[in-house]
Structure formats: C-alpha cells, structure tokens
C-alpha cells in the first residue's frame, strides 16, 4: 500500500508539472474537481459541469468584500439562466483566515448566503490555479458547453447581456482580465508598482504615475517610512481629485475640509464628479461602462525616496508631479461656502449605544427592500457624515455634532442628492442636516 500511495503521489505531481495555463479559445482538460458542496456529489469532472451549458468558475476568497457582495447577483443570474448556465464559486482557503465553510455558515439566512454549488480549494498551487493562474480575485473563467474558454474576466463583466451572448454561442466580447505581477498593498509591504530592490542589493528610487491598474484594489492611499532607508507614498486607482486630496492631506490642520470630491473646484467638465459617484452607486450603469470609466479616469501613483525625505516632503513633491502631469495648478484657498451641517436633535434621544469602550467603527452590508445599505456598529459621527457626503455629492457636508459618542444605525442609498430623503433617515436616529455659511479651506485646481 505504501508503494501504491507513493506511486500515486508521484504520478499526480508529474501530471501537475505538465499542466500549462489555458488561454481564451483553448479547450480545458477534463480534470476532476473535488470538495464540492451544495451539489449532488462531492466531486465532478469538469466536463460534467459544463455539459449542455455555460460554466463560469468564480474564484473568490473570504478577504474579498467585492466577491461576497456579488453573491446575490450570482443567484439572480443563475435563476434567470437556470437551464443554460452554471455558476460555480471556487473558494480559496487561506490558513491565516476563517475557513470557507465557517465563513459561509456565518452568512446563512442573510442576504449574502451562498446557495449555489461551490468548491473549496485548500492549497495555493491547485490544479485549477495552474490551469487558470491569477493574482487577484474575483477572477472569472467562462467555459462554453464544448469545454472551450470564451472569456476570462473580473466581476465587472458579469452581466445578463454577456451571459445571453455566451449561451447562444456568440462571442461575448468582454474585457480580458490580465493580472500583472503585483505585490501586497499595505503599509508594511515593501513593493507595489515599483520593484525597487535591485539584484545588486541597491535601491532604485523614483516615482511612477500610471493609468488604471485593474488587478489592484482601488482607493487605498498610504504613506510610511519603511525602515532606515525608505520613505514611500502611494495612492492606487484614484481619481485626479482624490490624488490631490491625498497629496494635500498634511497641508492644513483640518483635512476634513478636503475630504470629499465635490469640495474641489475642478477646471473642466463639472459633471465629472457627480458622474463618478453615479458610477459607484447607480445600479443602472452597466459594468462595462464602469470599467471604461475606470480605464479613462483613474490613476495610480507611487514614490520611493531615501528616508531623509520625510512623508510631508514626499507629498509636496507629489503635488509638483501631479501639476506637471495633468497640466494643472493647485492651491488651498479660503472661501465662504454654503454647506449642510450634521447636528444632534436637542429634543430627541439618539438611538444606539454611547459607550466609549470598544469602539468598533465598522460597517456591514445589508439588503433592505432590494437596496444594499450599511449597518454601522459603534461608529463616530465623522463616519456618519462621510456616508452622507457620498450620497449628497453636490453639497458640502460638515460635522457639527461635537460628539465623542458612538452609535448604531443603518443607512440606505438615496436618490442622488435628495436632501429630504437623507434627512428622513437621519432624523429617525436623532440627527439632522441644517444649512450653514462657513469659511473653509478649499483645494482649488485650475488650468
């Protein structure tokens, strides 16, 4: 038995060594998929899964919020194409985090429960990962009923129109997801865009400003002196306005006055900023259109300097880089502006705990009346005003609660810039919005 097991393991390793990545237009090998749940059996050949239908393998992880947020969409599409489509999420286990099974058990009964058949991959280098290599999730592989890969995409391309084409044998014409060689994005990471560690042990210093990078998560700025040699700042997949906000963050005492996009006097099309928010929150905008917007309008910046350059100095240099690259001039100016102030209602008790200990300041996605909102746990009024500002993006929002308490509340998206709808939600929790005139520091961009 030992000899047989050893031979079997050797044969399996030899087979793994022969596997090469499958490209669009190529047929997949008929491999065995193990550890399948919510299915008639715990394993299946790949050919069984794509027989008589389009198969979409959706690779995901418990650390990927976007992956989990798409679960309701997966169910909706599966129900709509019940006889011609099979969507199979493939969960990637990470020993440093909760297991896939435990994670999904916690979601049972909620809006993000997973009822589709799914597979759990327990190792980094699985057979599926070798066939369809990737670095970021969500990662979707579209396989037609002949076993041919017709698309490899991110979550943006998963839509009814594309599936309808694919099941009819028409090329879906989707944007192909091509993962670049990237590095972990956090302040402890030594690399993102610039590989500054040379083979000779020396360091390459410099700056990079690139277009949208679809394999990196958006909206993650950071700055840090990593060690005795390195100062590094970065902002990933951000709008022009957001890049300038990050660069000016240390230039004024109250950065909240620069905290939202509409506070920037952008020189060209004033519809740019409302359009960005609409693409974030308006479900009527197609995923393909969102992807095109990202490609056209978002940028990534990173700078690596010797440690003698402080973070504040590095951001000053960033302003110079942005001005030169975008052909703008930028400065902070004082202006009298009409704004809406978040206040406490004096005669109404505020709902929620006011315990100062164990401040979570976290949010959980919830689905109420087919609207995806946020259930906040022990959040500060600063976090509340931030949400309000994303919904009322044509208005300036300031926090005048003067409160150090924390609160529990659930807030839902509203019609764009509907002050009345937002006030109704806030009043139910003892808050309100009132008009004010204030002198504020404003970041102004001009040609």
pLDDT (tens digit per residue) in 215-230:
565 655 666 655 567 8
Most confident of 37-41, 206-210, 217-221, 389-393: 37-41
Can you say how many angstroms the Cα of residue 104 is from the centroid of all Cα atoms in its chain? 20
- pLDDT, one tens digit per residue, over 399-445 is 899 888 888 888 888 887 899 999 999 999 999 999 999 887 777 77
- Confidence label for 282 from pLDDT (cuts 50, 70 and 90): very low
Strand order through the sheet with 397-399: 397-399, 329-344, 431-446
Query: Where do runs of H (alpha helix) occur along 249-343?
Result: 272-281, 287-297, 311-326
Lowest mean pLDDT segment, chosen from 1-5, 91-95, 151-155, 332-336: 1-5
- Confidence label for 277 from pLDDT (cuts 50, 70 and 90): very low
Token look-up 């940028």 returns 299
Where are the domain boundaries for CATH 3.40.30.10 in the chain?
Answer: 13-167
CA angle 8, 14, 20 (to 5 degrees): 135
- 13-167 CATH fold: Glutaredoxin (3.40.30)
| Two tokens, residue 140 | 């979707």
Is pLDDT of 373 > 80?
no
Dihedral angle computed from the Cα positions of residues 44, 49, 51 and 53, in that order, rounded to the nearest 10 degrees? 170
For the entire predicted model, the pTM comes to: 0.53
- Confidence label for 134 from pLDDT (cuts 50, 70 and 90): confident
- pLDDT, one tens digit per residue, over 330-353 is 888 777 878 899 999 865 545 454
């Amino acid at each position: 038995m030992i000899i047989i097991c050893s031979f079997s393991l050797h044969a399996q390793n030899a087979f793994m060594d022969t596997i090469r990545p499958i490209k669009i237009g190529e047929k997949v090998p008929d491999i065995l998929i193990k550890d399948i749940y919510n299915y008639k059996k715990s394993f299946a050949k790949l050919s069984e899964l794509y027989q008589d239908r389009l198969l979409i393998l959706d690779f995901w992880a418990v650390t990927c919020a976007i992956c989990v947020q798409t679960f309701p969409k997966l169910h909706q599409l599966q129900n709509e194409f019940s006889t011609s489509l099979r969507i199979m999420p493939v969960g990637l286990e990470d020993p440093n985090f909760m297991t896939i099974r435990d994670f999904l058990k916690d979601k049972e009964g909620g809006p993000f429960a997973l009822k589709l058949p799914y597979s759990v991959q327990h190792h980094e280098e699985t057979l599926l990962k070798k066939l369809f290599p990737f670095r970021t999730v969500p990662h979707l592989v579209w396989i037609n009923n002949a076993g041919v890969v017709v698309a490899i995409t991110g979550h943006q391309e998963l839509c009814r129109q594309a599936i309808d084409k694919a099941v009819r044998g028409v090329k879906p014409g989707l944007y192909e997801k091509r993962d670049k060689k990237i590095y972990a994005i956090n302040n402890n990471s030594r690399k993102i865009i610039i590989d500054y560690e040379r083979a000779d042990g020396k360091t390459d210093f410099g700056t990079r400003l690139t277009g949208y990078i679809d394999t990196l998560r958006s909206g993650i700025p950071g700055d840090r002196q990593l060690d005795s040699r390195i100062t590094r700042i970065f902002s990933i997949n951000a709008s022009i306005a957001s890049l300038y906000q990050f660069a000016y963050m240390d230039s004024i005492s109250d950065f909240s006055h620069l905290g939202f996009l509409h506070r920037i006097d952008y020189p060209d099309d004033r519809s740019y900023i409302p359009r960005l928010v609409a693409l974030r929150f308006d479900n009527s905008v197609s995923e393909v259109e969102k992807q095109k917007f990202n490609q056209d309008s978002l940028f990534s910046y990173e700078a690596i300097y010797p440690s003698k350059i402080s973070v504040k100095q590095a951001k000053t240099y960033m302003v110079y880089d942005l001005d030169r690259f975008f052909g703008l001039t930028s400065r902070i100016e004082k202006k009298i502006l009409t704004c809406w102030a978040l206040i406490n209602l004096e005669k109404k008790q505020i709902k929620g705990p006011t315990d100062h200990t164990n401040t979570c300041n976290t949010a959980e996605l919830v689905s109420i009346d087919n609207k995806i909102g946020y259930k906040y746990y022990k959040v500060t009024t600063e976090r509340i005003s931030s949400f309000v500002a994303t919904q009322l993006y044509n208005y300036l929002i300031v926090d005048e609660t003067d409160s150090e308490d924390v609160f529990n509340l659930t807030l839902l998206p509203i019609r764009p810039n509907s002050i009345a709808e937002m006030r109704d939600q806030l009043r139910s929790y003892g808050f309100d919005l009132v008009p004010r005139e204030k002198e504020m520091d404003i970041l102004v961009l001009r040609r």
